[in-house]
Amino acid sequence: MSDLLANLGLGLSVALSLQNVVFCFLGVLLGTLIGVLPGVGPVATIAMLLPITATFDSPATAMIMLAGIYYGAQYGGSTTAILMNMPGEPSSSVTAIDGYKLARKGRAGPALATAAIGSFFAGTIATIVIAVAAPPLARYALKFGPPEYFSLMVMGLICAVALAHGSVIKALGMVILGLLFGLVGADIFAGVDRFTFGIRELTDGLNFAAVAVGIFGIAEILRNLENERARDAMVTKITGLMPTKDDLKRIAAPILRGTALGSLLGVLPGGGSILAAFAAYTVEKRVSKTPEEFGQGAIQGVAGPESANNAGAQTSFIPMLTLGVPTNPVLAVMMGAMILQGIIPGPQVITRNADLFWGVIASMWIGNAMLVILNLPLIGLWVRLLTIPYYVLFPAIIAFAAIGSYSIASNEYDLYALALFGGLGYILVRLGCEPAPFLLGFVLGPQMEEHLRRALIISRGDWSVFLTRPLSATLLGIAAVVLLIVFVPQIARKRATVFQED
Amino acid sequence: MKRSLIAAVFAAVSLIAGGAAAQQQFPSRPITLIVPFAAGGPTDTVGRVIAEAMSRDLGQQVVVENVGGAGGTTGAARVANAPKDGYTILLWHIGMATSDTLYRRLPYQTLNSFAHIGLVTEVPMTIIGRPRLPASDLNGLIDYVKRNAATVTMANAGVGSASHLCGMLFMSQIQQAVTTVPYPGTGPAMTDILGDQVDFMCDQTTTTTPQIQTGSVKAYLVTSPNRLEQIPNVKTAKEQGMNFELGIWHGVWAPAGTPQPVVDRLVRALQFALGERPVAQRFAALATSPSKKEEATPAALEAKVRSEIARWKPLIQAAGVYAD
């Protein structure tokens, strides 16, 4: 315990130096801005800033700023998800479901404030989790082999079906459509191209940001254009910027549950924090006494996933800092930044560069506090964005979405994807099919296939590994229970009555 | 208003004059160094280290642009089709030679589409095993692999990756095929090694050094001719009675047809960068070292590409693995 306090003290002394506070602020500010621009992601931004950070005299300063960009972007991403139905990051696609509905009801302010409060609380807890439990959590992540990941993804996809409202068949269809689009590109096991029609630019698959922004955001704009009279009423009236006492009461428990889920799942490489956001949403909908509000603007549907994704974003640093293994592309780029600073990421960082390790952790808490201070006053400004006339707002959104998608890989096919999925998204909305399960299928599908095939290669084609390994069996068990709940007639009837009114 | 008019005139004049002046004054604007992989990986790091040092010699920024995809061939194609003025150059590695066989349809010709600038560095490789693998040295590993041929697994980072090439070479050396488990990159492969999920892997020191230093994995050999000071306990192949030398060499290329003075200028900048102390220090952190001046030349790089195409062609064809 005294060790922990000494370590946190060391971290705070590093993070609170004037230089580091300034760069932490610059990081979260920049992160918020790029998060708000649909499509411009933290990977591209951090990569562009690498040469600048390489000239910093202290590696801790460089990492503190880059980390600030990362979780600042997570935060900013939810701002556009709520205001414009434009999730820039996979995890904020969950926030868009209820957050955007709230915004349309004139409650963008409370939704944004909830996101800020939830993120700050989750960030605080996750900081403590990293400080106390980083090494054991990293060891727990290593227990996840290919079979466990496969079972985890199955559970995630089943949750996606469960969280959708309306027809289960449509939700399943969306998941499968997402899986199919996820297959585009070279098969990593055989190197054979699939569904690329001989187009080289497609060998690495479709770009997530382009697909997500297209299917959520562009589709939403198209939908708004269809009825000229309804267009100006994008947001009817704005009722209050801050959450009411009742709101606060309703979000307390979701924030706690979201934080717990996010902290645990964030440690896992791959889709940890996106799974956490989806899982948190499913949990909230399940425990809610009024599940019919979900999808129509339930503030719990913002609080849970937002807390989960922020907690997950932070604990995803654990494998990189303690094992030297990045769990997502952003962290891979940050590892590059460490190498440019002459620090080799790996298990030795925690002892050999203790000031860096603890400094970055302490800065996360400071950065999260800054995000709240920065964003609460900005809520009024963001909300006023919604009053911008559509003939200015729509072209601007499309321009930013296009710039953002193209900047990721300078690949013009990402622009075609943006347009194509905008059109597809519109058709799906008209058909009453939801984009969220589609997106989860798209993100998790390729990973699920990869882990399935890898597990079977290692087991020599023996399918029983999924049931004989306890962790994997448990995860599949949970998936089975969720599936059962979805299909149990009584509940199914309740679902039907709830959504017949649509 | 007046000022902007003058500026516009200047801009127009310099545009007209630019054509003539370009050859004497190369470079007169920033240069793009294409790294054909995602930011943050080992190749990207090498690219950024030399880009920074080359900028100082050239007096113009060398900006790294990551154009990933299709095992590096997408970025290479970008450079092959770029204007032949030296403002778009490529940093790539051994993949330049192996993709010539791995891909049956390339959007450029490996030997004819590029002007060679020079070699940059040659990163050694190491064979590492999961922490609980019951083999303590190379011969123990070979023995273990042969006795458990039906169940042993070797990780790699996908077709054409350094780990894939090294694995192919290893299997052909020990005359024993092993089940390979591909991953989308070295990071996830390393996670499964650390977690005892797969048995062993051969990868660049860039990724394996920290894990070897802390004893998180078992290390069986280093593919360089001499032991490395960063991991002095890891024996070379020769010490253990095996002929197994392999390095992931990196080079810089410009589009074919780039004027000779521009090529010469780039060669000089590369040689300057490789002689810089900070470059050597950063490379040392990756357990590698800058190429010597006589290797950082067009002739040395061209010879390397030719000999490596010849070396890998039979191996890849024998394995029957293609990337397209």
pLDDT at residue number A25: 94
Q: Do A424 and A217 form a contact (C-beta atoms < 8 A)? A: no
Burial grade of A122 (CB within 10 A; 0-12, 13-18, 19 or more): buried
Spatial separation of the C-alpha atoms in residues A349 and A204, rounded to whole Å: 33
Residue A466 has pLDDT above 70, yes or no: yes
Say if the Cβ atoms of A342 and B282 lie within 8 Å: yes
pLDDT at residue number A235: 55
Spatial separation of the C-alpha atoms in residues A236 and A102, rounded to whole Å: 11
DSSP states along A243-271: --HHHHHHHHHHHHHHHHHHHHHHTSTTT
pLDDT at residue number A424: 93
Chain A residues inside the 8 Å CB shell of B196:
142
Residue A495 has pLDDT above 60, yes or no: no
Contacts of A391 (CB under 8 A, 6+ apart): none
Q: For A410, which of B49, B67, B210 is closest by C-beta distance?
A: B67
**Domains contained in chain B, CATH given:** 29-123+248-319 (3.40.190.150), 124-240 (3.40.190.10)
- Give chain B's end-to-end CA distance (angstroms, integer): 57
Spatial separation of the C-alpha atoms in residues B266 and B260, rounded to whole Å: 10
Q: For A145, which of B44, B197, B213 is closest by C-beta distance?
A: B197
Q: Do B120 and B91 form a contact (C-beta atoms < 8 A)? A: yes
Burial grade of B126 (CB within 10 A; 0-12, 13-18, 19 or more): buried
CB atoms within 10 A of CB B87: 20
B258 vs A53: which has the higher pLDDT:
B258
Chain A residues inside the 8 Å CB shell of B66:
47, 409
CB atoms within 10 A of CB A286: 14
Which of A290, A322, A282, A289 lies closest to A485 in space, CA to CA?
A282
Say if the Cβ atoms of A454 and B153 lie within 8 Å: no
Among A407-411, A435-439, A461-465, B40-44, which is the least confidently predicted range? Answer: A407-411
Say if the Cβ atoms of B40 and A333 lie within 8 Å: yes
Report the chain A residue with the minimal C-alpha distance to residue B206: A344
Cis bond leading into A435, ω under 30°?
no
Say if the Cβ atoms of B67 and A326 lie within 8 Å: no
pLDDT at residue number A376: 81
Helix (H) or strand (E) segment spanning residue B202: strand B200-204
Say if the Cβ atoms of A43 and B211 lie within 8 Å: no
pLDDT at residue number B179: 92
| Tally of structural domains, chain A | 1
Which amino acid, B125? M
Which amino acid, A241? L
Say if the Cβ atoms of A191 and B69 lie within 8 Å: no
pLDDT averaged over chain B?
88
Residue B22 has pLDDT above 60, yes or no: no
Which amino acid, A338? M
Residue A197 has pLDDT above 90, yes or no: no
Chain B residues inside the 8 Å CB shell of A410:
65, 67
Q: Quick one: what percent of chain B has pLDDT higher than 70? A: 92
Contacts of B118 (CB under 8 A, 6+ apart): B251, B252, B267, B270, B271, B291, B295, B296, B297, B298, B300, B301
Report the chain B residue with the minimal C-alpha distance to residue A450: B183
pLDDT at residue number B20: 45
Q: For B210, which of A334, A340, A348 is closest by C-beta distance?
A: A348
Say if the Cβ atoms of A410 and B65 lie within 8 Å: yes
What's A47's DSSP letter? H
Chain A residues inside the 8 Å CB shell of B279:
none
Which amino acid, A253? A
Residue B151 has pLDDT above 80, yes or no: yes
CB atoms within 10 A of CB A19: 13
Question: Quick one: tokens of A134?
Answer: 């980083």
Selected residue of A46, A194, A200 to mutate for chain B interface (largest B Cβ count, 10 A) = A200
**Mean pLDDT, residues A239-248:** 79
Selected residue of B66, B191, B208 to mutate for chain A interface (largest A Cβ count, 10 A) = B191
Chain A to chain B Cβ contacts (< 8 Å): 149
Q: For B209, which of A142, A342, A344 is closest by C-beta distance?
A: A344
Chain A residues inside the 8 Å CB shell of B286:
339, 344
DSSP, collapsed to helix, strand or coil, labels residue B151 as coil
DSSP, collapsed to helix, strand or coil, labels residue B256 as coil
**Mean pLDDT, residues A323-348:** 76
> Which pLDDT band, with edges at 50, 70 and 90, does A351 fall under?
confident
Chain B residues inside the 8 Å CB shell of A337:
40
**Mean pLDDT, residues B14-27:** 55
pLDDT per position as a tens digit, A420-431: 999 999 999 888
Residue A334 has pLDDT above 50, yes or no: yes
pLDDT per position as a tens digit, A275-315: 788 888 888 887 888 878 888 888 998 999 999 988 988 88
Size of chain B, expressed as the number of residues it contains: 324
Spatial separation of the C-alpha atoms in residues B50 and B120, rounded to whole Å: 8
Cis bond leading into B42, ω under 30°?
no
Report the chain A residue with the minimal C-alpha distance to residue B153: A458
Say if the Cβ atoms of B74 and A200 lie within 8 Å: yes
Among A2-11, A144-153, B135-144, which is the least confidently predicted range? Answer: A2-11
Segments forming the whole domain that contains residue A133: 2-500
Spatial separation of the C-alpha atoms in residues A330 and B281, rounded to whole Å: 25
Say if the Cβ atoms of A200 and B64 lie within 8 Å: no
How far is the CA of A402 from the CAs of A84, A397, A412, B285, in angstroms? 15, 9, 10, 39
CB atoms within 10 A of CB B317: 11
Say if the Cβ atoms of A325 and B323 lie within 8 Å: no
Spatial separation of the C-alpha atoms in residues A208 and A439, rounded to whole Å: 9
pLDDT at residue number B21: 45
pLDDT at residue number A237: 59
Say if the Cβ atoms of A319 and B49 lie within 8 Å: no
- Give chain A's end-to-end CA distance (angstroms, integer): 55
**Mean pLDDT, residues B38-55:** 87
User: At CA A458, angle to CA B171 and CA A275, rounded to 5?
Assistant: 125
Contacts of B161 (CB under 8 A, 6+ apart): B71, B186
Q: Do A236 and A284 form a contact (C-beta atoms < 8 A)? A: no
B120 vs A301: which has the higher pLDDT:
B120
> Which pLDDT band, with edges at 50, 70 and 90, does A264 fall under?
confident
Q: Do A68 and A24 form a contact (C-beta atoms < 8 A)? A: yes
> Which pLDDT band, with edges at 50, 70 and 90, does A38 fall under?
low
Say if the Cβ atoms of B323 and A454 lie within 8 Å: no
Q: For A340, which of B45, B185, B198 is closest by C-beta distance?
A: B45
> Which pLDDT band, with edges at 50, 70 and 90, does B300 fall under?
very high
Burial grade of B5 (CB within 10 A; 0-12, 13-18, 19 or more): exposed
Which of A173, A135, A158, A108 lies closest to A348 in space, CA to CA?
A135
pLDDT at residue number A433: 86
Residue A500 has pLDDT above 50, yes or no: no
Question: Quick one: tokens of A384?
Answer: 């006023």
Q: Which of A67-76, B99-108, B196-205 has the highest mean predicted lDDT (pLDDT)? A: B196-205
pLDDT per position as a tens digit, A435-465: 878 887 887 888 888 889 999 999 988 999 9
Which of B5, B83, B79 lies closest to B251 in space, CA to CA?
B79
Assembly ipTM: 0.76
Residue B15 has pLDDT above 50, yes or no: no
Spatial separation of the C-alpha atoms in residues A113 and A460, rounded to whole Å: 52
Q: Quick one: what percent of chain A has pLDDT higher than 90? A: 15
Spatial separation of the C-alpha atoms in residues B57 and B59, rounded to whole Å: 6
pLDDT at residue number A161: 75
Say if the Cβ atoms of B39 and A336 lie within 8 Å: yes
pLDDT at residue number A49: 80
> Which pLDDT band, with edges at 50, 70 and 90, does B14 fall under?
very low
Q: Do B190 and B207 form a contact (C-beta atoms < 8 A)? A: yes
Which of A465, A476, A479, A374 lies closest to A146 in space, CA to CA?
A465
What's B203's DSSP letter? E
Selected residue of A189, A454, A469, A472 to mutate for chain B interface (largest B Cβ count, 10 A) = A454
DSSP, collapsed to helix, strand or coil, labels residue A223 as helix
Say if the Cβ atoms of B70 and A200 lie within 8 Å: yes
Q: Do A92 and A288 form a contact (C-beta atoms < 8 A)? A: no
Chain A residues inside the 8 Å CB shell of B183:
188, 454
> Which pLDDT band, with edges at 50, 70 and 90, does B5 fall under?
very low
Cα-atom radius of gyration of chain B, to the nearest Å?
22
| β-pair partners for B218 | B129
pLDDT per position as a tens digit, A143-185: 888 999 899 888 878 877 776 666 778 888 888 999 899 888 8
Q: What is the least distance, in Å, from the CA of B189 to any CA of chain A? A: 9
Among A325-329, B52-56, B189-193, B200-204, which is the least confidently predicted range? Answer: A325-329
Q: For A457, which of B38, B181, B195 is closest by C-beta distance?
A: B181
Say if the Cβ atoms of A332 and B41 lie within 8 Å: yes
Cα-atom radius of gyration of chain A, to the nearest Å?
22
Which of B231, B222, B205, B186 lies closest to B288 in space, CA to CA?
B205
> Which pLDDT band, with edges at 50, 70 and 90, does A226 fall under?
confident
Among A36-50, B9-23, B171-185, which is the least confidently predicted range? Answer: B9-23
What's B290's DSSP letter? B
**Mean pLDDT, residues A98-115:** 87
Q: For B192, which of A145, A334, A345 is closest by C-beta distance?
A: A145
Q: What is the least distance, in Å, from the CA of A280 to any CA of chain B? A: 26
pLDDT averaged over chain A?
81
Q: For B194, which of A188, A190, A323 is closest by C-beta distance?
A: A323
Q: Do B247 and B126 form a contact (C-beta atoms < 8 A)? A: no
Say if the Cβ atoms of B210 and A201 lie within 8 Å: no
Contacts of A350 (CB under 8 A, 6+ apart): A134, A135, A321, A322, A357
Selected residue of B214, B217, B277 to mutate for chain A interface (largest A Cβ count, 10 A) = B214
How far is the CA of A122 from the CAs of A119, A174, A244, A496, in angstroms? 5, 31, 20, 35
pLDDT per position as a tens digit, A21-35: 999 999 999 988 887
Which of A141, A123, A49, A135 lies closest to A361 in space, CA to CA?
A123
